[in-house]
Chain A
Amino acid sequence: MSALAVNLNRRLREGAGSAWFPYLLVAPLALVLWGYVVQPMLATFVESVSEDGTANYAVFFSSSGVARASLFTSLFISLASVLLCGVVGVGMAFLLKRFAFPGRRLIEAFILVPAALPPLIGAIAFQLLYSDIGILPRALQQLFGAERPVLAFDDIAGVLVVHTFTMYPFFYLAASAALAGMDPSVEEAAYNLGAGRLRVWRTVLLPMLTPAMVSASLLVFMTSLASYTAPLLFGVSQTMTMQIYINRTNGDLPMASTYASVLGIVSILFLLLMRWYEGRRSYRSQSKGVAHQRREILNPFGRWLALAASILATLVLLAPVATIALVAFSEDGSWTSEVIPSAYTVENFITIFTDPKSLQPILNSVQMSLIATVGCVVIGVLIAYAVRRLNFRGRALLDMAVMISWALPGTVVAINLISAFSTGSTFSLGQALIGTFWIIPLAYFVRFLPMVFRSSSAALAVVDPTLEEAARNLGASWWRAFRTITLRLMLPGVIVGALLAFVHGVGEFVASVLIYTSSTVPISVAINNRMYSFELGTAAAYGMLQIVLIFVVMWFSSRLENGGRQAEQWTN
């Protein structure tokens, strides 16, 4: 027995050579993914059929009723979001990548700002801007002396505004990359053969953009399907995510689980579809030739028009952040029917930091997110290493499990954890986790593990595997070689992933709102509660802190990533 232990210990230290070493490393990782991602999903399904068998699922097939309507509304919103984001994103990409005009750089600098906002505070910003209590409709109302706010977006239209602003980057980034990778001579050949501009568009450009567009469509569709805050704020209660929330708060866990199972399965199907499509897609050889020349707009009138439009677009892009900033400095209750708040103060920020009860959510969020981030880093880095570097049976499954946790909507993750951990389980050391502190860090871990995994994996991809072999050859044990060489070199990527996970944890709302307890209220739930009690100023102040954190981290990450490309610049 002890001989076996000694042998095992020795193998672990020497490692990596023997055929079964990978399994030694992978087994705990697989166990974590099984315990906290896959098994909870199954628990939700079991929960959904626990009371009435499959009767819960039958409601989706009955022609009337909430379930079916919710499914269809969700699908409709997702489809409409894809179309809107597609038009805006591709349009922006063409405009910014193919034309040179005054103000272009201004737009480019801010183009990703709306999408960077945390989901709740982003949705609130759009509500405060464009809904019937919003600044713009009220300003127009006053301007035209109308009885009601003009051009107010509500209900589904409001949701679509939020989705368009926050999700068009999927299309914008995909189309920009595709345009950048496109060989200009192909397009020129078409012109050379006598095709008109419209024809070139239709027959050359769009088909070449298709793969990128399909991927972006699937992404937007999935993200829209998972969207919870926008329907919540704009009062669209008949969506899948809202029904999960409503059923859960009404105490009908089996029904909530039914919705969660359906939404989970649809999300995973989309994930599979996406993977299949990307695997099937042939990579055309992209010429490394000259980049596309931007077409200069020369007409003076056109230039003025372009400048004006650019400034307007920039204002629109910055408006959400500006609105939150403005409201953050307004006195609570000072904004009723005016266009903008009437009284200003810095009291909100002071209260947040001096009143222990107001400070608590910040402390909670930071603490819970930190814990989750540590977990994400340990597990995410090791999974990335295992998937990229080790040879073992079930590698694809491990990869898939991480991707599932990426594909699952936050709402579904929360329900899964509720189903799995409302009573003790092996994976919670026999304790019930619901109602305890640990459930939220766990949810963050499940939700943001894929971020650390992805950026670690990307970082690992550019670390030459022979470096680790060289270290081993020089006498280092596997662990030492991993620590001093591989991990060391992937560090920039790991840090970026960790920061991303941390920031998302601090901004998390969707899962938190289903599982928080009175002593673990995170910032976003605090914001939501303040909104309900019309303390807009305080809510926005919290939001402003989240936004500042995000921009600081984004700035820092971009420096790190640029530096990472020439690792030695900052490693020594």
Chain B
Amino acid sequence: MIDVKLRSVSKRFSRGGDAAAVDDVSLTIAAGEFFTLLGPSGCGKTTTLRMVAGFAFPTAGQIHFGDQDVTRLAPNKRDAGMVFQNYALFPHMTVAQNVAYGLKVRKIGRAASAERIEQALAQVHLAGYGTRRIDQLSGGQQQRVALARALVIRPRILLLDEPLSNLDAKLREETRSEIRRIQREAGTTALYVTHDQAEAMAMSDRIAVMYGGKVQQVGTPHEVYHRPANAFVARFIGRSNVLELPVAEASADGLELRLPSGARIGIGAPEGHGLKSGDTALVSARPEQVRLAGPTADGALPGKVTGIEFTGMATNLTVDVAGDELMVSVVDAPDGIKIDDQVGLLLAPHRLWVVKP
């Protein structure tokens, strides 16, 4: 097990215009950690992963596997096992031949190699599938062959680029816990790329949220969800209302904000928030943490229901509060609530979080 460090890594493509595809990214992935790059399409996740794999070289910065600087090392010298988005299984080989490829390159003896292949296939629940042709497998099985092929070489780091995106929704949920189990068993450091925040939350030890080639925030799923660093992260992870509220009073670790109703609300804020009285603060409030009350309830923001969506688990409402549309998610919506009803919204101070723009 090794840790992997990216130090101020940037990548510009010669034909990619001015903007860097990856812009000054610094990350440390701890040994044995399951680390996820999360962000919308085009934010530079794949490019970052490919630089770690050695298929692209950084324009600036360094990449280290443990103590070794691999920045310009050829991909075949890295011992990084990769699971490709389309699996990239060799169509002219059987399942076992696919898994054997990396062992053959490493000149592992026949007997040892056979044993490791068997082990790897058993690990992904494909024991006995060795002689199958690739086109005789389902998408989920192909995915697991790709995983076995990458793991059998005992890679220093396992790289996965949206490995679940070609599976249907149900299989995706099953497979993600499978991947996590296998990674834990193998004890491999893993770098995982996805644009699906639910997937990232469910699987990761830590997540780096990326946008526009830059890392926006690094943290545990809990941290990026409850304490998003900025408005982008707040909106991208889950759903969030980002309110603009005037600052009435500011201290080092707390703020007094003025609500549209005129009432004041005191909340905690991260150190170095840099806001002072008279500024406008951006405050993130998760829909499920806004509570519904009567229109005249004490301290509630009065508003009008403009949309209702029943999902089974919860009822999602959109409420117009003085011209702003707020999302509210309630588990026990009052019977008979309908569009144009007047309601009050209660914001719990300890569930509000100040974010950077």
What residues make up the interface of A, taking CB atoms closer than 8 Å to B? 14-19, 464, 466-467, 469-478, 480-481, 484-485, 488-489, 566-568, 571-572
Contact = CB atoms under 8 A, between A and B. Distances in A.
Interface string B73-91: 0111111111010101111
B14 to A, nearest CB: 8
A19 B81 CA distance: 23
Contacts of B82: 469-470, 473
B94 interface: yes
Contacts of A568: 91-92, 133-135
Contact of A567 (B74, B81, B89, B92): B92
A481 B76 CA distance: 10
A572 B149 contact: no
Given A473-B75, A473-B150, A568-B91, 18 more contacts: A17-B54, A464-B86, A464-B88, A467-B91, A469-B55, A470-B89, A470-B90, A470-B149, A472-B75, A473-B53, A473-B82, A474-B81, A474-B105, A474-B150, A475-B76, A484-B101, A485-B90, A489-B92
A515 B75 CA distance: 49
Nearest to B100: A474
B276 to A, nearest CB: 50
Nearest to B53: A473
B55 A475 contact: no
Contact of B84 (A466, A489, A571): A466
Contact of A475 (B91, B94, B102): B102
B301 interface: no
Contact of A469 (B84, B101, B133): B84
B105 A15 contact: no
B350 interface: no
A469 B88 contact: yes
A396 to B, nearest CB: 14
B101 A473 contact: no
B92 A477 contact: no
A466 to B, nearest CB: 4
Nearest to B136: A568
A277 B42 CA distance: 33
A470 B84 contact: yes
B105 A14 contact: no
B215 interface: no
Most buried by B among A467, A478, A488, A571: A467
A66 B149 CA distance: 71
B80 A473 contact: yes
B92 A572 contact: yes
A516 B82 CA distance: 56
B90 A467 contact: yes
Nearest to B77: A14
B52 to A, nearest CB: 11
A474 B91 CA distance: 16
B91 A476 contact: no
A566 B133 CA distance: 12
Interface residues of B, number: 33
Contacts of B134: 568
B170 interface: no
Contacts of B105: 474-476, 480
B113 to A, nearest CB: 13
Contact of B149 (A14, A474, A488): A474
Interface string B46-57: 000000011101
Nearest to B15: A391
A473 B81 contact: yes
Nearest to A469: B55
Interface string B113-124: 000000000000
26 contacts: A15-B74, A17-B74, A466-B84, A467-B88, A469-B53, A470-B82, A471-B101, A472-B76, A473-B53, A473-B82, A474-B76, A474-B81, A474-B105, A474-B150, A475-B105, A475-B106, A475-B153, A478-B76, A480-B105, A484-B101, A488-B92, A489-B91, A489-B92, A567-B92, A568-B91, A572-B93
B86 A466 contact: yes
A481 B93 CA distance: 14
A571 B94 CA distance: 11
A466 B94 contact: no
Contacts of B102: 474-475
Contacts of A481: 76
B197 to A, nearest CB: 25
Nearest to A476: B105
Contact of B88 (A14, A470, A478, A566): A470
Contacts of A478: 76
B116 to A, nearest CB: 13
Given A466-B84, A474-B105, A474-B153, A571 B74 contact: no
Interface string B147-183: 0011001000000000000000000000000000000
Closest 9 CB pairs of A and B: A474-B102, A14-B74, A470-B88, A571-B92, A466-B88, A475-B105, A472-B75, A473-B82, A17-B74
A141 B40 CA distance: 81
A484 B94 CA distance: 14
Nearest to B56: A17
Contacts of A471: 90, 101
A14 B92 contact: no
Contacts of B92: 488-489, 567-568, 571-572
Contacts of B149: 470, 474
A11 to B, nearest CB: 9
B95 to A, nearest CB: 12
A488 B101 CA distance: 14
B79 A475 contact: yes
Interface in B92-112: 92-94, 101-102, 105-106
A417 to B, nearest CB: 38
Contacts of B91: 467, 489, 567-568, 571
A443 to B, nearest CB: 36
A485 B98 CA distance: 11
A210 B84 CA distance: 42
Contacts of A567: 91-92
A567 B89 CA distance: 13
Nearest to B106: A475
A215 B209 CA distance: 50
Nearest to B102: A474
Contacts of A14: 74, 76-77
Contacts of B54: 17, 472-473
A345 to B, nearest CB: 50
A72 B23 CA distance: 62
